[in-house]
Structure 1
Amino acid sequence: MSTPHLDSTAWFDDAFRDAPLMAILRGMGAERSLALARTAWDLGIDLVEIPLQTPADHETLAAVVEAGRERGRQVGAGTVLDAATVRDAAAAGAAFTVSPGLDLEVVRASEEAGLAALPGVATPTEVQRAHTAGLRWLKAFPASLLGTGWFPALAGPFPDVRFVATGGMNARNAADFLDAGVRVVAVGSALEDETELARLAEVIAR
């Protein structure tokens, strides 16, 4: 009996309902990632992403997934480039996958494994291809290079697409991107800075 595809749009609609931020903890090791994940959850950031680029990252993902389970929080796997990494993410207990680019095979493999998929885009052509495939949540990467003007421009032809701005995002520019129409901003190192935490709290409280 085949597993029905998970609806990524509905999943992210629910997951991002309460906060316009997501945390990305790249290459930090298990101990540091666990500490920052807890900081994110305490702040009100529900979703944490652990990019998978080394064997140690897989161990980190499993550890943060377990900590998240105790807090009722969902943890995802990032930098997912192929179906093999989707399988690794699912085995570690991840709830979603994030990719730097648009690969519909990775999206299909994720949803078949019961994981929501958030592929990356940087051009109208990629957004249109994703939209045609039924995807409505997309990662805009690298957002800092695309700039705030990219998002209202894309909202014209794609008003129902929700963007997660990733790449070069921090507590100082998050509000600008949200004001430009971004639905969620993904941050990382800002979680280690007390002054940045206060700004992130202000963003969440908007």
Structure 2
Amino acid sequence: MTTNDGAPTGSIPGWADFFREGLAPVPVILILRGTTPEEAVAAARAAWSAGVRLVEVTQESEAGAPALEAVVSAAEGRLPVGAGTVTTPERLRRAVDAGAEFGVAPGIDPDTVAEADRLGVPFLPGVSSPTEVGQALRLGVTTVKAFPAKVLGPAWVSAMAGPFPEIRVVATGGVDARNAADYLRAGAVGVGVGRSATEGGALAELIRTL
């Protein structure tokens, strides 16, 4: 939903529903950063087998594109694969061309939010302050990524619920089996974890804590 000057306003249709439904079975997003295509596919398959529905492959470098394409191919259209570290409209367009069905960013950039709206791609921007939460809501975004969650802490999540009861938070950055449940108890709708969570049974252990 946009204004005449192209800036989103109000609630962007479908974005909140996309993340709520994707996180409902298992409230975890798997984040794949700096992996080969083969490593990315193996980690994604481990996550899917554990019930995780949302997997993102970060795009901070050109090496991310082959890994994203490989995971999209492995998903065979059955589960959505997203692109992470989507910091510009151009990077978002390239990710969508590679098959990404949603985008995630470490911060909030109005131009990239507007491009996601134009493309009809659910987008999860990062926030770390009340000012940025308020900006997200003005842009029509009601589900955001709290980043870095390890620095902000679970108390930050619960504190935001007071002035911003309509916001939904996915805690990302330093989340593992030791603290994931703390963020959910504080009100987060999900957590983001890295590839190490799929190794040695760590993901199963994390999910058991939720």
Query: Fold-level match, TM-score > 0.5?
Result: yes
1:56 is aligned to 2:57: no
Q: 1:95 aligns with which of 94, 98, 101?
A: 101
Q: How does 1:19-168 map to 2 (within 5 A)?
A: 19-70=26-77, 72-168=78-174
Are residues 1:170 and 2:176 paired? yes
Count of matched residue positions in the alignment of Structure 1 and Structure 2: 198
RMSD: 1.4
Whole-angstrom distance in 1 between the partners of 2:120 and 2:142: 17
Tell me the amino acid that sits aligned with residue 177 of structure 2. A
What do residues 176-199 of structure 1 show as CA deviations (whole Å, max 9, x unaligned)? 1111111101111111132x2331
Q: 1:6 to 1:52 in 2, by over 3 A?
A: farther
Amino acid at match of 2:57: I
Q: What amino acid does structure 2 have at the position aligned with 1:132?
A: R
Return the alpha-carbon distance in structure 1 between the equivalents of residues 189 and 14 of structure 2: 18
Deviation of 1:10 (Å): 2.5
Which whole-Å CA distance do the structure 2 matches of 1:130 and 1:6 have between them? 14
Rounded to whole Å, the distance in 1 between the matches of 2:120 and 2:137 is 20
Counterpart pick for 2:21 among 14, 36, 44: 14
Partner of 1:191: 198
- 1:201 is aligned, of 195, 203, 207, to 207
Partner of 2:68, secondary structure, is helix
More helix by share: 1
Q: List runs of 5+ in structure 1 lacking aligned partners.
A: none
SS in 1 for 2:76: helix
